[in-house]
Structure 1
Amino acid sequence: MPEMRFTIRWPDGTREGCYSPSLVIKDYLTPGASYPLADFLAKSREALTIASARVEARYGFACSRALGQLARLEAAGRTYSTHPDARVAVESFDA
């Protein structure tokens, strides 16, 4: 199963390297695009949940790494949730 790494930039300028066990993330996020925080988190949640389900369908267990990535994104997202104009930029995909 092809994995995907991608880099994001949080509203404060902090960059973070992220992981998906599936290329499905390409269906939800676009390099160079900037998303409102809630939209970014919703797209990431859906994509990483699908990616984990694909791993489970193939190997018989959910992808803890994808679910861990999602948990980190959601935890970091809470940091910026009081900023109504907060946006997250997707800087790159690295296969």
Structure 2
Amino acid sequence: MESINRHITIQVTGVTPSLQKCTDCCNSIHCPFCSPTIFQPATKSRVLKHLEAHKRNAVKHKEYAIFKCNLNCNKIAHFHCPSCQNTISRRDRL
């Protein structure tokens, strides 16, 4: 599977996206897996602590860690299937 086709919440195990200061709406750092209405942009240390919770709750599948997505691609928190374009709302169904 090419990394271009993977959703941001599907990462190779042990890899998380790099954190960068926002230049659009604020001067803080956004969680790459949550919309700003779910997790307000914050300092790097606070975002790293938040990402630890994402890591603890991630679903392991083959060489991937599938993180819970709270972006605006669905009305509720969900997981993106690495094999197809579906979203699944419960981790036990993934």
Normalising by structure 2, report the TM-score: 0.29
Q: Could you say which structure has the greater relative contact order, defined with CA pairs below 8 angstroms and 6 or more residues apart? A: 1
Greater percentage in helix: 1
